[in-house]
Amino acid sequence: MKNGKISLPDNETLEFYEEIGDQHILTTLDTPLRSDAFHLNDEEKIEQIQEHFKEIMNILGLDLQDDSLKGTPYRVAKMYVKEIFSGLNPKNKPKIALFDNKYKYSEMLIEKNIVLQSTCEHHFLPIYGKAHVAYIANGNVIGLSKINRIVQHYAKRPQVQERLSLQILEELKTALNTEDVAVYIDAKHMCVSTRGIKDNSSSTVTTAYSGKFSEDITRKEFLAAIHSTQEY
């Protein structure tokens, strides 16, 4: 800040910022969070975000006295904390209950076409698509809905799709005590379709494999299953 005004970064820094976003760079497997990320409770965060978003709307020249707009800062703040970024808070992580694999089922179990809604951390625009997850039980199995909840938990934070795939993989490996896990995500990024290149037709595919799914024959079986079509 200089003379009471916020100064923009130099051109070289601005070019670097643009390159990071365009290249979809992943910097860490863990979502980057400060050590004091949860010093404020949800209501305190909503209150502060509300005020900051109100200022953004003021800078854009919007009339906050208009009936349609006056509640927008609060609605956005609540949505950020309670909904689309609720996965940042470890308190919201789904509790995982395991069950004995009494039937001794030893083949892969696939949960396909899980609806995925996330947010690009580079432009804060939506990511939406489908996730397909598989595992081979190692003595225990997990409730099917818990797989969906794990996907949704890690999706509900600012994300890079590569990181999201790996976070789901690692969470299931830990929860199930097995290395045999596969994750396949096919998603569209609104930062691609609404800005920059403005390509509405492309989607991004990321995969994460471990254990037996790293083997060609098992991976091919998984891919064949998720790409098959079935009418219900």
pLDDT of residue 97: 85
Q: Tens digit of pLDDT for each residue in 97-113?
A: 888 888 888 899 999 99
Known catalytic residue: 123? yes
Residue scoring higher pLDDT (53 or 4): 53
Known catalytic residue: 39? no
Token representation of residue 159:
């994300």
Known catalytic residue: 170? no
Least Cα distance to 222 among 182, 187, 164 occurs for 182
Token representation of residue 121:
């951390």
The Cα–Cα gap between 42 and 113 comes to 31
Distance of CA 200 to the CA centre of its chain: 20
Known catalytic residue: 107? no
Please provide the DSSP assignment of 71-101 as one string.
THHHHHHHIIIIIITGGGSGGGSPP--EEE-
Give the pLDDT mean for 150-171.
97
Contact (Cβ atoms closer than 8 angstroms) between residue 153 and residue 85: no
Known catalytic residue: 52? no
Contact (Cβ atoms closer than 8 angstroms) between residue 42 and residue 82: yes
Q: What is the pTM of this model?
A: 0.88
Q: Tens digit of pLDDT for each residue in 16-56?
A: 556 655 655 667 789 999 999 999 999 999 999 999 999 99
Let me know the angle formed at the C-alpha of 176 by 175 and 177, rounded to the nearest 5 degrees: 100
Contact (Cβ atoms closer than 8 angstroms) between residue 135 and residue 181: yes
Residue 109's CB is within 10 A of a number of other CB atoms, namely 14
Known catalytic residue: 161? yes
Known catalytic residue: 189? yes
Q: Residue type for 188, please?
A: K
Residue scoring higher pLDDT (98 or 14): 98
The Cα–Cα gap between 165 and 216 comes to 19
Token representation of residue 149:
């909840």
Residues whose CB falls within 8 Å of the CB of residue 54, separated by 6 or more in sequence, listed in order:
64, 73
Strands 140-142 and 181-189: what pairing? unpaired
The Cα–Cα gap between 11 and 219 comes to 45
Domains of the chain by start residue, with CATH: 36-84 (1.10.286.10), 98-227 (3.30.1130.10)
pLDDT at residue 130 tops 70: yes
Looking at 111, 121, 159, 167, which residue is catalytic?
A: 121
Contact (Cβ atoms closer than 8 angstroms) between residue 129 and residue 114: no
Looking at 50, 159, 161, 167, which residue is catalytic?
A: 161
